[in-house]
Amino acid sequence: MDPKKSRDHIVDIVLLAFRAQRYSLSESHLGVHFPPYLFEAFLAQPVDDDKSTAKVGNGAAVFTLPKRKEEPWDQLMLSAADKEIKKDLREKALIRHQEKLCAASKAKSEKQQAEKKYALTTMMKLEQEERENIQKIKDFERQKTTAELEAWQQKQKDQRHTETQIDTREKSRMGICEAKAKSDLTNNSGLKSRTLVELPVPRATGSIQVTFTPRVFPTALRESRAAEEEEWLRKQAEARRVSSDALGDLKDLKEEERNPDWLKDKGDKFFATGDYLGAVNAYSLAIRQNRKMPALFSNRAACHLKLKNLHKAIKDSSEALELLTPAVPANAAARARAHVRRGTAFCQLQLYTEGLQEYQAALKIDPENAELQMDTQKIRDIIQGSAEEGQT
């Protein structure tokens, strides 16, 4: 410890070579804690602890303690014999230190509360200003809308007033014209009588019945072959007429199995699923009941092609073509399919010339079919290649 008395009104105390962690100061007591040591100084005279300062660092602690009275001290600290006085000073210093801490804590709490109150007041003020601004904008927009509405209503009112004036002037003008017309009619009554007498008598009314010949085919009469079309219709009607004699040995069949159209649909479903034998059986049963439906023979020919029954395919295709007569636009697609299927069977039998004739017949019916054109050209190439090999 190094006490200094540089001035009469200040006491300097310097503690060297330690690391202080905390200290306490009252007007007559100074305590410094630097574990494991505790330094206490019981001052001989009181000092102003509120104005006192302390600097701790670099292994030293410097305390500057202003005196209560500006006068020299005979001694810095009380002697060791004054134990009771020291005890009393220590307790008072402790109480004063606690009071200072409580006061500081209370001041800090009051400061925080004041800051919170100020922040809340400021926020409320800002929110109030924002609400006022929003209300001003609303009032301005309301006034603007009201002014526009009043202007529009005034415009409508002026327009109606103008229209009323125009109607009034028009009615006045019409009244003048009518009066003038009445005057002219009065002056020219003889001319009016002659004009009415010269008007022609109204014509008698009547009705004209118009009938049209019903047409089954969409082609015009001048472009169709009526006799051939009528023959085709007759054959189609006959094909759908089931003879009771043909069903004598089919009495055990269900009601739908006795319907050729139902059997045809059944065969189509079998063909779509790849059950070609089932499709052949369905078509065959339908043919037994009605041999006048060309679609049954044509579809069974397609099944025989899948099963490699080529001769049967040719036979069924020929049956279908025979039933598809006369050649009319309504059965053009069916005839083209029958020719293609018979031509395919001929080609698979390596009878390419006959197959080419069938494909050419189909191409003549449907000349715009690109796939059919391609297949026909392939058959020509095969025939030409065979001819060239024979010449070689």
Distance CA 182, CA 5 (A): 139
State residue 66's pLDDT score. Answer: 83
Distances (CA, A) of 303 to 154, 260, 335: 86, 17, 17
Q: Return the sign of the alpha-carbon dihedral for residues 115, 118, 120, 122.
A: negative
DSSP 14: E
Distance CA 308, CA 15 (A): 122
CA 86 to chain centre: 88
pLDDT of residue 86: 72
pLDDT at 134 (0 to 100): 93
- So what's the pLDDT on residue 336? 94
From residue 80, alpha-carbon distances to 11, 14, 36, 45, 94 in Å are 20, 21, 22, 15, 20
Contacts of 240 (CB under 8 A, 6+ apart): 290, 292, 293
pLDDT of residue 6: 45
What is residue 307's DSSP assignment? T
Residues 6+ apart with CB under 8 A from 103: none
- Helix 294-306 × helix 276-289 angle, to 10°: 160
E strands within the chain?
2-7, 10-16, 22-25, 29-34, 37-42, 53-57, 60-66
Reading the block at residue 325, the tokens are 């007569």
Q: Shortest CA distance to 20 belongs to which of 33, 7, 31?
A: 33
- Predicted local distance difference test score (pLDDT) of residue 348: 92
CA dihedral 235→240→241→247, nearest 10 degrees, is 120
Please, which residues have CB within 8 angstroms of residue 77's CB and are 6 or more apart in sequence?
Answer: 41, 42, 43, 44
162: its two tokens: 């103008």
User: Residue 244's pLDDT is what?
Assistant: 44
Q: What pTM did the predictor assign?
A: 0.40
| C-alpha–C-alpha distance, residues 99 and 348, integer Å | 120
Residue (of 310, 289, 293) closest to 301 by Cα position = 310
Q: What is the pLDDT of residue 20?
A: 56
Q: Which residues of the chain carry a pLDDT beneath 50? A: 5-6, 191-196, 242-248
Q: What are phi and psi of 29, to 5 degrees?
A: -140, 135
pLDDT of amino acid 355:
92
> What angle in degrees, to the nearest 10, is found between the helix axes of 83-187 and 189-198?
90
